[in-house]
Amino acid sequence: MEANVEMRLSKACETARMVEDAAEKSMTAMTHIYNTNRRVIVNRYMSELTFVEDARALAKNLTALRKRSAALSQRLTELRSNVQKQVEELYRTEVDVDMNLRACRGSCRSALPFTVGHHSYRAIQTDMDHIKQTVVRRSKTSTPPEDIARITLRPVDVGPVLSPQYKTIPTVQRELLTQFEDIGQNQLVVEELLEDTEGF
């Protein structure tokens, strides 16, 4: 009888060791899977943060670029207008000089040969008209939307309630395995359209 009990006890101990070894192997595999999943989740979380920060920087750059583009467009219009006035004034001056020289030919001792370059002024005027049309055409075809959407992260409460028994598992304690409660779950949200992104 004693031998029978001893044999059963030995079998139970061996079964317990096998179950313990299987549990340890299972926990090792679970730890490996946990670490792999954690890397993926952390990388995704960091990517979301980077994406939102990059979107914020792009919106800020786009706003600055729009302001600069508007200022440069205004400056280009002013410069084109100034050039147009200068060309007209230069043409009038040349015509006046030509008229004075023609009037002076009979009474002046020596008159320099001078002619107004009408074809040059027509070419300049054609170029100025072409520049004006190009600027108008580009401003009509490439007008971007006025508003900029703001992308943010909104925390999302997902997942089951944390189990207190989970923390009592030896492998969880040894490997510091959390239930990912330390990593925030977020949702990308496009907020209202902003005309001025100074708050970025």
Contact predicate 83/129, CB 8 Å: no
Predicted confidence (pLDDT) per residue in 139-159, tens digit:
766 556 667 777 888 878 776
Positive or negative torsion for Cα 99, 102, 107, 111: positive
Predicted confidence (pLDDT) per residue in 13-26, tens digit:
999 999 999 988 98
Q: What is the phi/psi pair of residue 149, to 5°?
A: -75, 140
Predicted confidence (pLDDT) per residue in 93-111, tens digit:
988 888 887 777 667 766 6
Q: What is the phi/psi pair of residue 194, to 5°?
A: -115, 135
**Would you state the pLDDT for residue 145?**
63
Q: What is the rounded average pLDDT for all residues in the chain?
A: 81
Predicted confidence (pLDDT) per residue in 11-59, tens digit:
999 999 999 999 889 888 988 998 898 899 889 889 989 999 998 898 8
CATH of region 2-194, choose from 3.55.40.20, 1.10.3720.10, 3.20.80.10, 1.20.5.50: 1.20.5.50
**Would you state the pLDDT for residue 120?**
87
**Would you state the pLDDT for residue 153?**
81
